């Protein structure tokens, strides 16, 4: 009796704890602020976005290159990474950005990785809109990859198409497109191509460090593009719903572009997260958006994969194909064979949603009025670790007692003999009929009375 009562008590505590965590984590918001509808867009703009997607595909393939001229190796801190940066700067100059003549838009920085000093660089291009006294939106994508096995253990000859050449192509194409539609922009835009993301987001950290206080206060939102060419598209902002994340989903939905929601069960628990000091992290947090989020800025990240399947655990690139990110198979040939039917649709959806948002009258109001959620009970503090430990301990205890109860019940069933009803008390056709039949059997002789008496 004690055990049963204790078991129920634990189950009740677990249920309440689980409800509190899930409610606070995934459905919490400050107040339900209505998200403004996105503006109306013409069929002509949709046609332009198809052209924009094709241009992004072209820029991606030109950026990656071929056997004669390429940017296959963009390993952080190498001369090849700098050559890739020079290539990006040349494409922006062609688009009419006239990057700083002193450094051609390339901002070098140094960092330490594995006790060694490296030099990398970011490429920035600023686009001022026609309106005055408006904030700036940063759109970023990292251009480095993990080609060189000597710097990144276990990885060799990855050309970085999926991660992250396709986003570089999208960002170049967006810079070109918005340059030609500057009169429609509602805010300033800065395009940033981050170096040295792979070893620890050093490019985005260097970029934020370089900003003045006034530039930081004028930064409305950071939009990040990383690995957007895969199976399904997702938009990620935070571990709780935010008005600006809802805003981007609403714009995409109105334009007919599908972005799936990230299931809560697909978070991958590991020690020490990169995103706002959470105890866990998963793929949409592991990019340059985390640098801005950790510094208190609002972020929206466009990513792809298949977080809807339960055939594989954790983050999944594809349900049907092997993962190619950070592998020798991340090249144009393999990428095209896997995602040829989806990657241009993804490019259109991402580029169109971002462009529409920057031309929306609702953007500045929605993002400015939105609050950044606080969930200190989930961060890497003493309280966070204690909460996690208690939750795991209670889960183990509840599982132990529930298993014991099931085992006891099963053994009791095995040791109980089956109940049998005496045949004397069983009347199939009715008591009167069976008594009559019994009497008739006594008077009936099969072989004859004389023969049977003889026996």
Q: What's the structural domain count of the chain?
A: 2
Q: Are residues 436 and 331 in the same domain?
A: no
Q: Are residues 358 and 450 in the same domain?
A: no
The answer, yes or no, to whether the previous bond of 164 is cis (omega within 30 of 0) is yes
* Extended beta strands in 218-325, E state: 219-225, 232-236, 299-305
Percent of the chain with pLDDT over 90: 56
Domain contains 401: no
The values of phi and psi at residue 221, to 5°, are -160, 145
Domain contains 73: yes
3-state secondary structure of 203: helix
124-138 residue pLDDT tens? 999 999 999 999 999
228-275 residue pLDDT tens? 999 999 999 988 889 999 999 999 999 999 999 987 766 655 444 566
Q: Are residues 346 and 255 in the same domain?
A: yes
> 352, 372, 392: which is the final residue of a domain?
372
Q: Are residues 59 and 144 in the same domain?
A: yes
Q: Are residues 359 and 441 in the same domain?
A: no
Can you tell me which residue has the tokens 């050559």? Answer: 83
Q: What is the pLDDT of residue 244?
A: 95
Answer yes or no: is pLDDT of 154 > 70. Answer: no
Confidence band, pLDDT 50/70/90 cuts, at residue 451 = very low
Answer yes or no: is pLDDT of 153 > 50. Answer: yes
Domain contains 219: yes
CATH number for the domain harbouring residue 65 = 3.40.630.10
Q: What is the pLDDT of residue 275?
A: 66
- Tokens encoding 381: 């503090």
Between 343-358 and 43-64, two packed helices, what is the crossing angle to 10 degrees?
A: 120
CA-wise closest residue to 349 among 239, 241, 260 = 260
Q: Are residues 70 and 181 in the same domain?
A: yes
Domain contains 158: yes
- How far apart are the C-alpha atoms of 74 and 326, rounded to whole Å? 12
Confirm if 53 and 265 have CB atoms less than 8 A apart: no
Answer yes or no: is pLDDT of 283 > 90. Answer: no
Domain contains 226: yes
Q: Which residues of 386-411 are buried (b: 16+ CB within 10 A; e: fewer)?
A: ebeeeeeebeeebeebeeeeeeeeee
Enumerate the H helices of 145-256 as residue ranges.
166-179, 202-210, 213-217, 243-254
Q: Are residues 250 and 102 in the same domain?
A: yes
Q: Tell me which residue range forms the domain holding 440.
A: 427-454
Average pLDDT over residues 396-422: 67
Which comes out higher in pLDDT, residue 326 or 150? 326
Q: Are residues 136 and 63 in the same domain?
A: yes
> 351, 372, 393: which is the final residue of a domain?
372
Answer yes or no: is pLDDT of 209 > 50. Answer: yes
Domain contains 356: yes
Confidence band, pLDDT 50/70/90 cuts, at residue 156 = confident
**Which of 36-50, 51-65, 332-346 has the least mean pLDDT?**
36-50
- How far apart are the C-alpha atoms of 387 and 16, rounded to whole Å? 14
Q: Are residues 71 and 181 in the same domain?
A: yes
Q: Are residues 431 and 365 in the same domain?
A: no
Q: Are residues 337 and 434 in the same domain?
A: no
Domain contains 257: yes
Q: Which residues of 192-209 are buried (b: 16+ CB within 10 A; e: fewer)?
A: bbbbbbbbebbbbbbbbe
How many Cα neighbours within 13 Å face the side chain of 314?
A: 8
- Whole-model pTM? 0.76
Domain contains 406: no
- Tokens encoding 453: 């008496």
Q: Are residues 180 and 299 in the same domain?
A: yes
> 327, 348, 372: which is the final residue of a domain?
372
């Amino acid at each position: 009796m004690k055990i049963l009562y204790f078991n129920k008590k634990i189950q009740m505590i677990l249920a309440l704890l689980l409800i509190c965590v899930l409610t606070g984590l995934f459905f919490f918001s400050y107040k339900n602020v209505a998200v403004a509808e996105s503006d109306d867009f013409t069929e002509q703009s949709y046609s332009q976005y198809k052209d924009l997607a094709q241009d992004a595909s072209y820029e991606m393939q030109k950026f990656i290159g071929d056997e004669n001229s390429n940017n296959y190796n963009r390993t952080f801190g190498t001369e090849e990474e700098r050559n890739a940066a020079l290539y990006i700067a040349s494409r922006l100059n062609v688009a009419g950005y006239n990057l700083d003549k002193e450094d051609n838009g390339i901002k070098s920085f140094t960092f330490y990785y594995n006790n060694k000093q490296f030099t990398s660089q970011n490429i920035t291009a600023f686009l001022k809109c026609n309106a005055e006294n408006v904030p700036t939106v940063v759109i970023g994508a990292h251009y480095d990859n993990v080609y060189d096995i000597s710097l990144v253990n276990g990885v060799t000859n990855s050309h970085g198409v999926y991660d992250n050449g396709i986003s570089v192509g999208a960002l170049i194409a967006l810079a070109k497109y918005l340059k030609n539609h500057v009169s429609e922009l509602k805010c300033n835009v800065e395009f940033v191509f981050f170096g040295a993301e792979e070893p620890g987001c050093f490019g985005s950290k260097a970029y934020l460090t370089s900003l003045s206080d006034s530039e930081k206060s004028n930064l409305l939102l950071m939009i990040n593009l990383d690995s957007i060419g895969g199976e399904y598209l997702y938009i990620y902002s935070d571990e709780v719903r935010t008005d600006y994340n809802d805003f981007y989903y609403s714009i995409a939905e109105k334009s007919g572009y599908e972005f799936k929601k990230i299931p809560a069960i697909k978070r991958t628990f590991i020690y020490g997260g990169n995103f706002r000091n959470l105890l866990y992290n998963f793929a949409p947090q592991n990019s340059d958006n985390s640098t801005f989020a950790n510094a208190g800025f609002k972020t929206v990240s466009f990513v792809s994969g298949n977080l809807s399947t339960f055939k594989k655990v954790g983050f999944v690139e594809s349900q049907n194909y092997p993962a190619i990110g950070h592998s020798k198979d991340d090249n144009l040939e393999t990428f095209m064979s896997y995602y040829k039917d989806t990657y241009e649709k993804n490019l259109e959806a991402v580029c169109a949603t971002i462009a529409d948002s920057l031309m929306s009258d609702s953007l500045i109001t929605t993002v400015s009025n939105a609050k950044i959620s606080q969930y200190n009970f989930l961060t890497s503090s003493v309280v966070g670790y204690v909460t996690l430990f208690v939750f795991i301990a209670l889960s183990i205890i509840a599982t132990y007692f529930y298993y014991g109860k099931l085992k006891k019940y099963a053994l009791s069933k095995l040791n109980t003999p089956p109940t049998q009803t005496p045949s004397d008390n069983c009347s199939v056709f009715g008591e009167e009929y069976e008594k009559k039949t019994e009497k008739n059997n006594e008077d009936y002789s099969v072989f004859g009375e004389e023969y049977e008496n003889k026996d």
